[in-house]
Amino acid sequence: MLQINNTGQLIPELRHTPNLYEYWMLAAFFVILVVLAYVRAAYTRRLFRLFSSLVRIQILRQVMREELVFSHRVSVLLFINFALVIGLILFGASKFYGWNFTQAEGWELYLIYVALVAGVYLLKLVLNFILRKVLHDPGIVKEYLFEVFLVNKALGVIFLPLAIAICFINVGSLNILFNVIGVLFLLFILFRLFQGLLMSFSYTVSRVYIILYLCTLEILPFMVVWKLFNTEIA
């Protein structure tokens, strides 16, 4: 839509919308839905076992013995889905709260958040691999790492409706929605920490070792990220 300025020139009129929707989001949702539909259609049985192992450690260990849990096609696709969905949530939060980490806008900013999420967890994978070699891990670190990535895959599915809501609902309701997402994310973090403690009971590992691991590679990174976000918002 065009309007005429004081000099008689035609200029585009800015579109004011009550939500955060942008045209490129349809492509993002399309890719996400295609990934989930493919996984659901091609790997129904494995998908069921994978998410069953989320709450049953015995199934988790069985799945880890039988297959390449980190490089299997289902695991890779669900991790991609997690990065795409969390990227949308971070994009919405950055627009709503006015975070200014970069000059990028629109789909470029979204891809930066997707790459950031994927990069953080890939770095976590590498650090845990090094830790296992250095400490001669009997298996608990690998099991817990699998649990971490499994929780993330579940979050990628569960948070999809919330990511869609962020893009389309009125901005006046977004603060409540982001608070809900924050609470849910915290509950999932506490759940996987609890699962990690349960796993440790099956190994003759010092509780001090477990606490140091959780503080160094789990709690500390979230505290740093939280501090950075609070500083940016302030």
Q: Which residue has the higher pLDDT, 43 or 128?
A: 43
Read off the pLDDT of residues 174-228 as tens digits, 9 standing for 90 and up.
999 999 999 998 898 888 878 777 777 776 666 666 666 666 666 666 666 666 6
Whether 4 maps to a domain, the answer reads no
Whether 176 maps to a domain, the answer reads yes
- Residue for token digits 């890939």? 122
Confidence label for 69 from pLDDT (cuts 50, 70 and 90): low
Report d(CA 20, CA 90) in Å as an integer.
12
Residues contacting 178, CB < 8 A, separation 6+: 92, 93, 96, 166
Please state, rounded to an integer, the average pLDDT across all residues of the chain. Answer: 79
Count up the domains in the chain and report the number: 1
Whether 30 maps to a domain, the answer reads no
Report d(CA 51, CA 36) in Å as an integer.
14
Q: Are 165 and 13 in contact (CB under 8 A)?
A: no
Q: What is the pLDDT of residue 158?
A: 92
Confidence label for 10 from pLDDT (cuts 50, 70 and 90): very low
Kindly tell me if the per-residue pLDDT of 70 is higher than 60: yes
End-to-end CA distance of the chain: 36
Residue range(s) defining the domain that contains residue 212: 36-233
Whether 94 maps to a domain, the answer reads yes
Whether 212 maps to a domain, the answer reads yes
Residues contacting 112, CB < 8 A, separation 6+: 102, 104
Whether 10 maps to a domain, the answer reads no
Whether 21 maps to a domain, the answer reads no
Give the range among 36-40, 98-102, 140-144, 207-211 with minimum mean pLDDT. 207-211
For residue 187, what is the enclosing H or E element?
helix 174-200
Kindly tell me if the per-residue pLDDT of 14 is higher than 50: no
Measured from the Cβ of residue 45, the count of other Cβ atoms closer than 10 Å reads 7
Q: What is the pLDDT of residue 159?
A: 96
Whether 185 maps to a domain, the answer reads yes
Confidence label for 109 from pLDDT (cuts 50, 70 and 90): very high
DSSP codes joined into one string, 74-125? HHHHHHHHHHHHHHHHHHHHHHHHT--S-S--HHHHHHHHHHHHHHHHHHHH
Please classify residue 130 by burial: count the beta carbons closer than 10 Å to its beta carbon, then call 0-12 exposed, 13-18 middle and 19+ buried: exposed
Q: Are 60 and 138 in contact (CB under 8 A)?
A: no
